[in-house]
C-alpha cells in the first residue's frame, strides 16, 4: 500500500509540472513514470518543436538629430517703405526720406531729409525715442538751434528742423512742418528704424 501511495504522489507531482518529487520515492522511478517522463528520441512527440529565435546581431545606431525650430519668417515691410516696424518712424538714408507709421500703415510722409555726413554717419538699425526737447541747442556745434528735437540715439542723434541741402553731424534734418509733426506724434519709447 505504501508503494502505491508513493507512485500516486509521483504521478501527481509530474502532472502538476514539478520536475522532481519530494521524498524517498523520488530517487526510485516507477515503471509508470519512467516511460512517460523520459521521451525517446525515436518516438514522435505530439508537440511540434518551435525553433528558438536567435537574437538579432547588434546594429549600429545613428542618433537622430534634435529637431530645430523653424527659422523666423522674413520681416514684412510696411507698403511704400523699407521698414518692418508697425509703429513709429522709418528713415531711408539712401533716398533721403522718412515716414511716420501707425498700425502698419504710413500715417505721414514720405518727407525729405538729410542725414549724417562722412565721419558722422547716422546709425542704421532699430532705435527708440529716448527724450524730446522742443527747442534744443547743439553744444558740440556752435550752439546751433535744433527745434523740435526728438532724440533716438543716446549720443545726441535726433530728428529736428534743419537744412535739407547740407548733411548733418548724424541727426535727421526735417522741414519745420515735418519736425513739428514728428515731435507731436512720436512719444518716448516709440520705435525708430533707420535703413541704409
Catalytic residues: 160, 171
Q: Alpha-carbon distance 127 to 111, whole Å?
A: 19
Q: How far apart are CA 96 and CA 162, in angstroms?
A: 13
Give Cα 184 distance to the centre of its chain. Answer: 38
Of 107, 111, 81, 89, nearest to 157 (Cα)? 89
Alpha-carbon gap, residue 89 to 8, rounded angstroms: 103
Amino acid at each position: 500500500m505504501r508503494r502505491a501511495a508513493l507512485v500516486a504522489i509521483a504521478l501527481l507531482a509530474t502532472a502538476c509540472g514539478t520536475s522532481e518529487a519530494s521524498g524517498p520515492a523520488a530517487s526510485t522511478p516507477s515503471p509508470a513514470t519512467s516511460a512517460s517522463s523520459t521521451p525517446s528520441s525515436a518516438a514522435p512527440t505530439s508537440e511540434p518543436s518551435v525553433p528558438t529565435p536567435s537574437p538579432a546581431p547588434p546594429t549600429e545606431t545613428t542618433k537622430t538629430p534634435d529637431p530645430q525650430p523653424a527659422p523666423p519668417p522674413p520681416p514684412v515691410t510696411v507698403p511704400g517703405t523699407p521698414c518692418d516696424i508697425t509703429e513709429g518712424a522709418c528713415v531711408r538714408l539712401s533716398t533721403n526720406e522718412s515716414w511716420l507709421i501707425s498700425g502698419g500703415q504710413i500715417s505721414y510722409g514720405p518727407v525729405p531729409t538729410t542725414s549724417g555726413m562722412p565721419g558722422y554717419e547716422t546709425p542704421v538699425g532699430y532705435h527708440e525715442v529716448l527724450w524730446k526737447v522742443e527747442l534744443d541747442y547743439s553744444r558740440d556745434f556752435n550752439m546751433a538751434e535744433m527745434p523740435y528735437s526728438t532724440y533716438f540715439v543716446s549720443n545726441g542723434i535726433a530728428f529736428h528742423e534743419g537744412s535739407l541741402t547740407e548733411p548733418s553731424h548724424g541727426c535727421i534734418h526735417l522741414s519745420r512742418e515735418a519736425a513739428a509733426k514728428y515731435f507731436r506724434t512720436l512719444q518716448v519709447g516709440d520705435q525708430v528704424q533707420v535703413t541704409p
